Structure 1
Amino acid sequence: MPHEKSRWDTYKYLIIELVIMAGTVMLAYYFEYTDTFNVNVQGFFCYDSAYTKPYLGPEESSAVPPVILYAVVAGVPTLVITVTEAVMFLLQYTSKELDGREKNFATGDCCYLNPLVRRTFRFLGVYMFGLFTTDIFVNAGQVVTGNLAPHFLTVCKPNYTALGCQQALRYISHQEACTGNEEDILRARKTFPSKEAALSVYAALYLAMYITCTVKAKGTRLAKPVMSLGLMCLAFLTGINRVAEYRNHWSDVIAGFIIGVAIATFLVVCVVHNFQGKLLLSEEPSQELVANAPMMNMPRVESPLEKYIASQVAELREIEGELAPRSLKERILSFFSWLTGTSRFRHLQNTRQ
């Protein structure tokens, strides 16, 4: 059956997307919380001033701690997109007199997916996929490069005497040179690119582009750019804070900004197509929807066009019945009267009376 094949194709594509999303989440988990991928051990020069900045404590003591950053990056866009989609859907829903066929989208034999839910899941799903993708790109770069943080030598605590660092230009390449805390040393080897800068600018740009492309209300001509620039400013301040606290170099932050901007731009332009899509379905379903929609046992509803055609046929039969005893001249005049709509207008007047 054709509808069975189309339904199976829909389920197949959905399963493929879920598998890709699950694989992305698992890869991000392995990068973030396991030692599956070994960090490249990069050497250093004795007394290198680029890596002797003071260590201001663990990440939790930062002005922008990771817990707050991750909560804002994941929660604020989700809340803004959900509320905005709900408000726009309700405004359009109450402004149009639409029947049940226009307010639901068939996805199965007995299941319906509201256009509001469909759009919201689409935009949030793409956003979450980009968030995990950004994390994977950043972690991969940190593992491959093993770039040292500005406070690396402070937490490394090398024994310069045992290493023979009588000369400042002596290069130390072996991992056993450090005597400090292993966790702090490992974290200090993973700075390029900056994860905080990449995630913050990705979330800010995605949300700014969503607000700019989606909100079309009057009086928002100045509010939209103000909100968008405010979000980008917060992301920029996050990167500056990383440099000010000697946790990243400027090159790390700039690389993180580039990754976040590139992923957000690609997803918005090429995947969600600048957040285009109808909140409500049109009066006539598209050919693709009709072809892919499964056969369902639904009560037949007579359309306005069918009612109009039936009334015209009844009216024509009535006219033909009236013309039966008339002469040829009267029949011609009555036909032209019906053709020009005069008889229909009289018929409507009689019906209203």
Structure 2
Amino acid sequence: MTKVVQCSPSVLGANGSVIRLELSAGVGGPLKKKNATSEPAVSLARKGKEIAMSASERAMGKATKDSLSLLPCFYFVELPILVSSIVSLYFLEWTDIFKPVRWGFSCYDRSLSLPYIEPTHEVIPFLMLLILTFGAPAVTIMIGEGILFCWLSKTQSGPGAEANINAAGCNFNSYIRRAIRFVGVHLFGLCATALITDIIQLSTGYPAPYFLTVCKPNYTYLNSSCDENSFILEDICSGTDTPIINAGRKSFPSQHATLASFAAVYISMYFNSTLTDSSKLLKPLLVFSFIISAIICGLTRIIQHKNHAIDVYLGFLLGGGIALYLGLHAVGNFQPSEVKQKCEPQIKDAVRSL
């Protein structure tokens, strides 16, 4: 016969929980101790762990997305377009396959007889122009994206500004994706700007301020006498340096102005979209530094008689317009894709309400 003895409910265990004792008086009867409140606590702890694990799994699911079109679009669409732009720019800029149209000029035109300055004596030569328009913005974007990625990874416990992408077994985090996208569009924009500038220059053939200095026209080749009011369409140049003469026919618009303006507007849009308002002076300082550099690039072309003033001013407009278009439509004003998806329904609703 087993006899069960229950102790008073006021008996407490080591952890402060109520202990219920069951004593068996039989032979070899075991002493049983049960915790009345430990079982619910253990079950609640298990449920909490399950909830935390499911939340972390959901976060990991949101942090990584699968994409089947990322690499094919890059290899078969974007990369061929970029390579073809660079190849086309090479043939237009550094070969004599395409020659500018021969624009006429007036006899003894003083506006086209200014001194010619050698490329080695230019204030901003072509190599420095490439550094200012491509090297400096590209390095700035990569540094800015690295700082943004590290800051968002620590503060938000996430993958960065955008979700990671798994494409064909390769995992691309937000830093790699955004840096390659922004720098790639910047490089494509520079090539497109240079191509458009070269096409306009070859189509117009507008002479530079130093054209008659390098052309060295021989007015005795004319059948008629040359006075100050006549306009010459024939090729009467006696100069021997053909590349310089052809370069003197490519003044409109200024290539330095278009490239510098594109780089300044593009990187300024990047600063305005990524930098927060907590830094009151950092954003204007960076923006003004690139804009002033672009203005200096254009003004030196006027001072050193490489381009006319109208060539530089219209070059600023052309480069800035291309940068504005690519910044808004190609990279979505440098905003993360999640932010753009949230903003699109709001914009559509606002348009419908109008």
TM-score normalised to the size of structure 1?
A: 0.72
Q: Assess if the C-alpha contact under 8 Å between 1:200 and 1:235 holds in 2.
A: yes
Identify which of 144, 157, 175 aligns with 2:235.
175
Q: Which residue of 2 aligns with 1:275?
A: 334
Of the candidates 55, 68, 90, which is equivalent to residue 29 of structure 1? 90
In the alignment, structure 1 residue 211 sits paired with structure 2 residue 289: no
Which structure has more helix as a fraction of its residues?
1
Which consecutive unaligned segments of at least 5 residues does structure 1 have? 1-5, 281-353
Superposed CA offset, 1:189-233 (max 9, x none): 111110001101111111111111111262x22221232122111
Name segments (4+ residues, structure 1) moved above 6 Å. none
Indicate conservation of the 8 Å contact 2:106/2:232, yes or no: yes
The yes-or-no answer on 1:191 pairing with 2:251 is yes
Instruction: Please state if 1:77 is matched with 2:137.
Output: yes
Aligned partner of 1:121: which letter?
I
Tell me the SS of whatever aligns to 2:312. Answer: helix
Distance, in Å, in 2 between the alignment partners of 1:217 and 1:234 is: 24
The count of residues paired between Structure 1 and Structure 2 equals 271
Moved more, 15-24 or 81-90: 15-24
Distance 2:282 2:90 in 1: 38
For residues 119-268 of structure 1, what are the structure 2 equivalents within 5 Å? 119-163=178-222, 164-216=224-276, 218=278, 220-268=279-327
Q: Residue 155 of structure 2: which of 73, 95, 115 is its match?
A: 95
Report how far residue 114 of structure 1 moved.
1.3
Q: How far off its partner does 1:279 sit?
A: 9.9
Please list the CA deviations of residues 66-88 of structure 1 after superposition, one character each: whole Å capped at 9, or x if unmatched.
11111221110111000010011
- 2:164 aligned with 1:66, yes or no? no
| Change beyond 3 A, Cα 1:176–1:274 | same
Listed one character per residue, the Cα deviations across residues 95-151 of structure 1 (whole Å, up to 9, x for unaligned) are 233489x9742112x211111101111111111110100000110011000000111
- Corresponding residue for 1:48? 109
Q: Which structure has the larger Rg?
A: 2
Distance in 2 (alpha carbons) for counterparts of 1:200 and 1:99:
34
CA RMSD of aligned residues (A): 2.3
CA contact (8 A) 1:39 1:146 kept: yes
Code of the aligned partner of 2:97: T
Matches within 5 A, 1:109-128: 110-128=169-187
> Conserved in 2, the CA contact under 8 Å of 1:116 and 1:279?
no
Task: Determine what percentage of the aligned residue pairs are the same residue.
Answer: 32
Asked if residue 106 in structure 1 is aligned to residue 177 in structure 2, the reply is no
CA distance in structure 1 between the aligned counterparts of 2:68 and 2:157, rounded to whole angstroms? 34
Secondary structure of 2:208's aligned partner: coil
Paired with 2:269 and 2:67, the residues of 1 have a C-alpha distance of 33
Cα separation, partners in 2 of 1:255 and 1:273, compared to 1, 3 Å: same
Distance of 1:129 and 1:242 partners within structure 2: 24
Letter of the structure 1 residue corresponding to residue 148 of structure 2: M
1:224 is paired with a residue whose SS is: helix
Alpha carbons of structure 1 residues 27 and 241: separation in structure 2 relative to 1, 3 Å: same
- Displacement of 1:241 after TM fit? 0.9
Distance in 2, Cα, partners of 1:33 & 1:136: 12
Query: Does the 8 Å CA contact 1:191/1:252 hold for their aligned counterparts?
Result: yes
Normalising by structure 2, we get a TM-score of: 0.72
SS of equivalent to 2:320: helix
Cα gap change, 1:99/1:210 in structure 2, threshold over 3 Å: closer, same or farther? closer
Cα distance in 2, alignment partners of residues 176 and 184 from structure 1: 15
**Could you tell me how far apart the structure 2 residues matched to 1:165 and 1:226 are?**
58
Query: How far apart, CA to CA, are the structure 2 residues paired with 1:98 and 1:159?
Result: 72
2: distance between equivalents of 1:80 and 1:189?
35
Q: Please list every run of 5 or more consecutive structure 2 residues that lacks an aligned counterpart in the other structure.
A: 1-65, 340-354
Higher relative contact order (CA 8 A, sep 6+): 1
Q: Quick one: which of 60, 80, 85 aligns to 1:19?
A: 80
Residues 7 and 79 of structure 1, relative CA distance in 2, 3 Å threshold:
closer
Given the superposition, is the C-alpha separation of residues 99 and 268 from structure 1 closer, same or farther in structure 2, using an over 3 Å criterion? closer
CA distance in 2, matches of 1:173, 1:158: 12
Which protein is richer in strand relative to its size? 2
